[in-house]
Amino acid sequence: MFRRRLDTDSPASRTDADFAAEIEAHIALEAERLREEGLSEEDALAAARRAFGNTTRVRERFYESRRARWWEDFRRDFRFGFRTLRKSPGFSVVAVLTLALGIGANTAIFSIVNAVLIAPLPFPNAERLVMVRGVDHGRELLGPSPIDALDYGRLTHSFEMLVPYDYWRKNVSGIGGGNEAQEMLVGLVPAEYFEALRIRPVLGRLFRKEENVYGKHYVAVVNTTFWREHYGGRRDVLGRTLRVNGEPYTIVGVVPDAIPRWMDAQLQLNAQIWTPDAPYADFFSEANRGDRDVFVLARMKPGVTLAQAQADLDVVAAQLAARYPVDRGIGVKLEPLGKVRVGPLQPILLILSGAVGLILLIACSNVANLLLVRHSGRRRELAVRAALGGRRGAIVRQLTAESLVLGLLGGGAGVLLAAAGTRILLALRPPQLRQLGEVHLDLRVLIFSAALSILTILVSGLAPAFTASKVNLGEALKEAARGATSGGGSQRMRRWLVVAETGLALMLMVGAGLLLRTIGRLQSQELGYSPDHLMFAQFFVPEARYPDSPAITRFAARFRERVAAIPGVREATITNTVPGTYNRWKQYITVPGRVVRSDDLPRIGFTPTDEHFLSTCGIPLLRGRDFAASDREGGPPVALITQAAVKRFFPGEDPIGRTVHLGEPGDVPPQGSARLSADVTIVGVVGDMRNEGLKEPPSPQLLALYRQLPTVNVGFKDLIVRTARKETSVAPAIADRLRGLDPDIPLSEVAAVREIVLRQTSNTRFTTTLLALFAALGTILALVGVYGVISYAVAQRTHEIGVRVALGARGGEIVWLMLRPGIVLGLAGAVLGILGAAAARRVLSSLLFGISPLDPPTFAAAAGLLMVAVAAACAIPAFRASRVDPAVALRYE
């Protein structure tokens, strides 16, 4: 192959300036020649310039010629496409809007996928970070126990660091020198926690090793937001004190706001203050080996795989189980940080991605459909172009350019729509989906939408373009002359597209329907009481000023009395359980005379409460008696049990008067911060409450008086109030009473009990809302498609209809004539949709409750609704057809 000589300049890399220099040289040479012919200096230069012509124009052409040829063609086609689209605004608006909806919905969902699955984790070498979860006989626990966690760190070899930590709700006052008390989430962490995440303080220091010891732990670090808000970002924050649960802590450092909201998302709050990991004196002692509720973050050594680390931990867990009876059946499961971030969103995102994918397909077929109509309306124009020698490629390219314009406009509008949609979506999000707090449109999302727009154009534009370019010249010109505009091929293709659209829409409707039924099932679950007119709040009685059980009891009783005296309050109880929600407090129970296996010790849900629980919540007493004021502190402990407990522990017996032992039986030493070992006498049987959450049947539950069981009379208390008016209307008065008793104890978590119970369904409701929205969107798009096909058919057959009417056809016959093909399309779509929904049933099944993913009533209802909608969409053009005036119709052409 021929190559240029090396000493020549390359034409491609030539600069503008070089070209300008050549022109100047040319003019100089020409002027010199003219001078030699006898012209004056001035005239020669003028004549040379004249002979050259317009230099600017030549230079412009040089500039343009270096651009790629395709760009020229593309620009021309693009401009042409833009012009032709402007000439039919109706078509353009519908097509752009359809594309915008499809692309917008997909962009919005992708921005979530991006935030929780694709975007890099915000820590260096984050792929080596894992959470260590506790497992009991394969069931996930709240966490490992603190001392087990220390042993995991000590005995394994796979980890650079393995850090137990915790978050506690604490009363914080003295913030920024103020007096207001506030319940806040306080992190209890050693310095290694930040080091594992590679977070360095921006000011001051992290905790020293010796500060992780109880008694020397009165130091705190705060995050940057807290520092800016309350200390104006001044350096003198170091050395200031905060009162946490009544005790002073010195601020020693400021850390950046680097811990994302999805870390420990179950906490529902962002921590802004951290103190060393020393909640109480013997937290890391042997006595706490069974108290499994700490968080553990670990950083794997470089080169260690997740499987190796897991195997390493499994070995250690087995060793611990062999040594400590309380660790029998206890294991750990590693969860990479990436999985922590997705959390409960995984199945939801799968469903929503599927839904928006279907919407995009519907939008594509709709636009393809519109383009087919448009192209077939232009067959004559295209045929003329082909007759004049237009190549097929050029025609396809021009038609594609037109859809490209549509796609770009649709994509742009879609991104705007997604920006607005994401905001709405975030407003709808349940607070526990904290992952969604990180969602925003970034470059990756924009690239995705651009790619999606191009894909959409190719899918919806190319096939119609090819169909249109395949014109049979003679036929097309003849047909066009008669005014008929639709070839058989494209008409068939359009019908198929509409069938596909309605089928996809039906899939969305079935999905939304199944989720709606699931919510219905969940919300109609028998709670065992009515949550209406019940208000919930939380408070914490700190040990510093209320050091023992009598002090806590006294405080709680005085507070309760004052609350009950507020006008509008009917009854109040201080307790630890919200009936109808998952109750995580379980206690070992031993029923005398009942043999148990030592690796499967019976446990029972536990509610330490006062004597007003049943009357406040309205839980029925079935047998025996309720607690009474006469069940005094220091007296023999009494208890109430639920029906489920009777079934499990006293089948066919009368439990009243029987005594059970609460606390670790036999060879298991007493465990945990609330070490319970007491015999309680059952005095009554009460109705079941949903203590395992809405999805599970009630399990056994035992209620006892905290004043009679000092070791479980902890400072964390719940207040439930029965009100006469709207639940939370009495909250300010209650907070006022609490302040009056102790200004350092804040009232927190105020909510209606109904809301708290409903929170369990909020993920499902969120998903359902979105899916219903998408189903509506998809259905509307599909109906637009149906309507388009039918009204087009009517327009085409106006002449025929006119003839029929002239020959005596009645209006009803005409309506049916036009309605029938629409209903056939709808039926075919319904069949397709039912098959599709059945094939996709696995996608939804994880979110469904109490209903089969093939639930026939839901399928039937969705299909019925779709058919009605399709019929309605066809009816409009069909009725228009019936009103055709034969005189006009026959003159129509």
Partner 1 sequence: MVTRRGDERRAIRRSGEGLGKEPRDRLELLQGTLDVLILRTLIFGPQHGQGIARAIQTTSDEELLVEHGALYPALQRLEERRWISAKWGVSANNRKARFYGLTAAGRKQLVKETSKWRRLVSAIGRVLGPEET
If the CB atoms of residues 63 and 816 are measured against partner 1, the closer one turns out to be 63
Q: Provide, rounded to whole angstroms, the least separation between the CB of residue 405 and partner 1.
A: 23
If the CB atoms of residues 40 and 319 are measured against partner 1, the closer one turns out to be 40
If the CB atoms of residues 33 and 603 are measured against partner 1, the closer one turns out to be 33
d(CA 754, CA 756): 5
Angle at 253 between CA 247 and CA 259, to 5 degrees: 100
Q: Provide, rounded to whole angstroms, the least separation between the CB of residue 46 and partner 1.
A: 11
Task: Say if residues 98 and 366 touch (Cβ distance below 8 Å).
Answer: yes
Q: Provide, rounded to whole angstroms, the least separation between the CB of residue 48 and partner 1.
A: 8
Task: Say if residues 724 and 628 touch (Cβ distance below 8 Å).
Answer: no
If the CB atoms of residues 53 and 302 are measured against partner 1, the closer one turns out to be 53
Q: Provide, rounded to whole angstroms, the least separation between the CB of residue 49 and partner 1.
A: 10
737 SS3 class: helix
The structure tokens listed for 861 are 């209802």
Q: How is residue 726 annotated by DSSP?
A: S
Task: Say if residues 168 and 177 touch (Cβ distance below 8 Å).
Answer: no
d(CA 867, CA 692): 41
Task: Say if residues 582 and 432 touch (Cβ distance below 8 Å).
Answer: no
Q: Provide, rounded to whole angstroms, the least separation between the CB of residue 467 and partner 1.
A: 29
d(CA 618, CA 531): 9
Q: How is residue 20 annotated by DSSP?
A: H
Strand pairing category for 219-223 and 701-705: unpaired
If the CB atoms of residues 57 and 842 are measured against partner 1, the closer one turns out to be 57
Q: Provide, rounded to whole angstroms, the least separation between the CB of residue 64 and partner 1.
A: 9
CA atoms within 13 A on the CB side of 434: 15
Which residues, other chains included, contact 691 with Cβ-Cβ below 8 Å and sequence gap of 6+? 577, 579, 581, 582, 583, 605, 642, 698, 699, 701
Q: Provide, rounded to whole angstroms, the least separation between the CB of residue 7 and partner 1.
A: 6
487 SS3 class: coil
Residues that bind partner 1 (CB under 8 A): 2, 4-5, 7-9, 11-12, 19, 21-23, 25-26, 28-30, 32-33, 50-55, 57-58, 61-62, 65
Q: Which helix (H) or strand (E) holds 570?
A: strand 569-575
Residue 656 CA from chain centroid, whole number: 49
If the CB atoms of residues 390 and 624 are measured against partner 1, the closer one turns out to be 390
If the CB atoms of residues 61 and 234 are measured against partner 1, the closer one turns out to be 61
If the CB atoms of residues 21 and 824 are measured against partner 1, the closer one turns out to be 21
Q: Which of 416, 401, 398 is nearest to 454 (CA)?
A: 401
Beta strands per DSSP E along 445-541:
534-540
- Name the amino acid, one letter, at 817: L
Which residues, other chains included, contact 346 with Cβ-Cβ below 8 Å and sequence gap of 6+? none
If the CB atoms of residues 55 and 310 are measured against partner 1, the closer one turns out to be 55
- Name the amino acid, one letter, at 231: Y
Q: Which of 406, 378, 374, 372 is nearest to 494 (CA)?
A: 372
Q: Which helix (H) or strand (E) holds 250?
A: strand 247-255
Q: Which helix (H) or strand (E) holds 704?
A: strand 701-705
Task: Say if residues 858 and 517 touch (Cβ distance below 8 Å).
Answer: yes
If the CB atoms of residues 22 and 127 are measured against partner 1, the closer one turns out to be 22
Which residues, other chains included, contact 218 with Cβ-Cβ below 8 Å and sequence gap of 6+? 247, 248, 249, 250, 275
Q: Provide, rounded to whole angstroms, the least separation between the CB of residue 367 and partner 1.
A: 33
If the CB atoms of residues 80 and 214 are measured against partner 1, the closer one turns out to be 80
Q: Is 568 left (phi over 0), alpha (psi -120 to 50) or beta?
A: left
Q: Is 652 exposed, middle or buried (0-12, 13-18, 19+ CB in 10 A)?
A: exposed
Its sign, for the CA torsion 152, 155, 157, 162, is: positive
Instruction: List for the chain the helix, strand, coil content (%; round to 5).
Output: 55, 15, 30
If the CB atoms of residues 2 and 70 are measured against partner 1, the closer one turns out to be 2
Q: Provide, rounded to whole angstroms, the least separation between the CB of residue 2 and partner 1.
A: 5
Residue 637 CA from chain centroid, whole number: 47
Q: Provide, rounded to whole angstroms, the least separation between the CB of residue 388 and partner 1.
A: 14
Q: Provide, rounded to whole angstroms, the least separation between the CB of residue 347 and partner 1.
A: 58
Instruction: Give bridge partners of residue 705 from the DSSP assignment.
Output: 609
d(CA 331, CA 325): 13
If the CB atoms of residues 7 and 210 are measured against partner 1, the closer one turns out to be 7
d(CA 514, CA 507): 11
Q: How is residue 114 annotated by DSSP?
A: I
Q: Provide, rounded to whole angstroms, the least separation between the CB of residue 407 and partner 1.
A: 29
Q: How many angstroms separate the first and last alpha carbons of the chain? A: 62
Q: Which of 173, 167, 164, 210 is nearest to 188 (CA)?
A: 167
d(CA 32, CA 539): 100
If the CB atoms of residues 71 and 280 are measured against partner 1, the closer one turns out to be 71
